[in-house]
Amino acid sequence: MIFENVTIIGIGLIGSSLARNLKEYNLVKKITVYDASFDYMKKAQQLGIVDEIALNVEDAVKEADLIVLATPVGAFGPLTKKMKPFLKKGVVITDTGSVKEYALREIESHLCLEDGVIVVGGHPVAGTEKSGPEAGFLELFRDRWCILTPSAFSNNEAIEKVAQMWQVMGMRIEKMTPVHHDKVMAAVSHLPHLIAFSIVGTVADLEGYEQKEIIKYSASGFRDFTRIAGSDPTMWRDILLNNKVTVLELIQRFVEDLIALERNIRWDEGDKLFELFSRTQKIRKEVIDAKQDQPEHEKRLCAEMRKI
Ligand code: NAP
């Protein structure tokens, strides 16, 4: 048992996948859940993945040894402010937020080091475009990276315990600063997501095309962008607005590269196109070799969802 009483705030895709794992591997004594949606909490209880539901923040956190924030990052600050008076000395707060500098600033600005509250920033780099407690599943974290971003509010013992919790679920741990995390994620996650949002919006709004034809022939490429663009709107609004500087720099760079591509096509620069596509094909192979492609269990799950 790594922690005794664990409180998960936000029982969506990530919170419920975590709860499933904590139960499966017997990692904790009791799991309490608090979520803005009473129906989600009830559902989680029916699924047998939590022990107690709390109707307010005080009841959720007063006995907790570990609190996991798994709501959209925009809620972290207000939640920490509300929970602060009820926290036990020595409690560890960790989070699952996809941006780390903003998330930790929001959490830590409501705490003082003298309170004895420990914070270990975390980001399990695993997910799907689905939301809610029924979208979670046991294998979500397997063979994926969990990035921990220790700060002045962390200590080695708590970092080790949080790391151990994710490792039991099959995650590999990497530690980095929040700023470095946000830079890396801007490239591998935030930019690809915003391009998907943009392309799906553009194609859907094209004049002179039949909407039903776009859907009918979507397997030619559009479909793969719609998977990413189908992600939760609140979560992605919060991520993009709170990693603004880095994301804006990358958009600038992307626009320049897109214009270069436009020029290559306009001037029939086939060699340049071929060279770029060969390079991107090699990158695809490297992703597969690093086992970062969609794993078989996720593919099966997606295929089953499509049948429903
Ligand atoms: P999700 O499925 O939408 O679940 C979030 C849950 O938090 C929802 O049930 C939501 O309720 C609840 N919530 C929102 N505000 C709240 C508040 N103030 N108090 C209590 N509950 C609140 O989201 P998720 O995909 O699990 O993401 C959770 C966190 O993990 C985010 O910070 C995200 O950045 C991070 N993350 C996500 C992924 C991914 O691929 N999805 C991957 C890694 C990390 P309502 O729906 O009623 O608002």
% of the chain beyond a pLDDT of 70: 95
Count of beta carbons in the 10 Å neighbourhood of residue 20:
23
Q: Which atom of ligand 1 approaches the CA of 128 most closely?
A: 40
Distance between CA atoms of residues 22 and 3, nearest Å: 10
The CB of 235 under 6 Å from ligand 1? The reply is: yes
Structure tokens at 268: 């029939």
| Domains of the chain in sequence order | 5-176 (3.40.50.720), 181-307 (1.10.3660.10)
Per residue in 79-99, is it b (16+ CB within 10 Å) or e — as a string? bbeebeebbeeebbbbbbbbb
pLDDT tens digits, one per residue of 249-266? 999 999 999 999 999 999
Kindly state the average pLDDT of the residues 164-172: 97
Distance from residue 132's CA to the centre of ligand 1 (Å) = 8
The CB of 133 under 6 Å from ligand 1? The reply is: no
pLDDT tens digits, one per residue of 42-73? 999 999 999 999 999 999 999 999 999 999 99
Look at residues 21, 16, 14 and name the one whose alpha carbon lies nearest to residue 3. Answer: 21
Residue 69, classed as helix, strand or coil, is: strand
Indicate whether this model's pTM tops 0.85.
yes
The CB of 96 under 6 Å from ligand 1? The reply is: yes
The CB of 228 under 6 Å from ligand 1? The reply is: no
Distance from residue 245's CA to the centre of ligand 1 (Å) = 23
Q: What is the pLDDT of residue 292?
A: 77
Q: What is the pLDDT of residue 308?
A: 44
pLDDT tens digits, one per residue of 181-223? 999 999 999 999 999 999 999 998 998 888 889 999 999 999 9
Q: Of all protein residues, whose CA lies closest to atom 38 belonging to ligand 1?
A: 127
Half-sphere exposure of 186 (CA within 13 A, CB side): 23
pLDDT tens digits, one per residue of 107-162? 999 999 899 999 999 999 999 989 999 999 999 999 999 999 999 999 999 999 99
With vertex at residue 287, the alpha carbon angle to CA 281 and CA 291, rounded to the nearest 5 degrees, is 145
Q: Of all protein residues, whose CA lies closest to atom 4 belonging to ligand 1?
A: 12
Distance from residue 119's CA to the centre of ligand 1 (Å) = 19
The CB of 72 under 6 Å from ligand 1? The reply is: yes
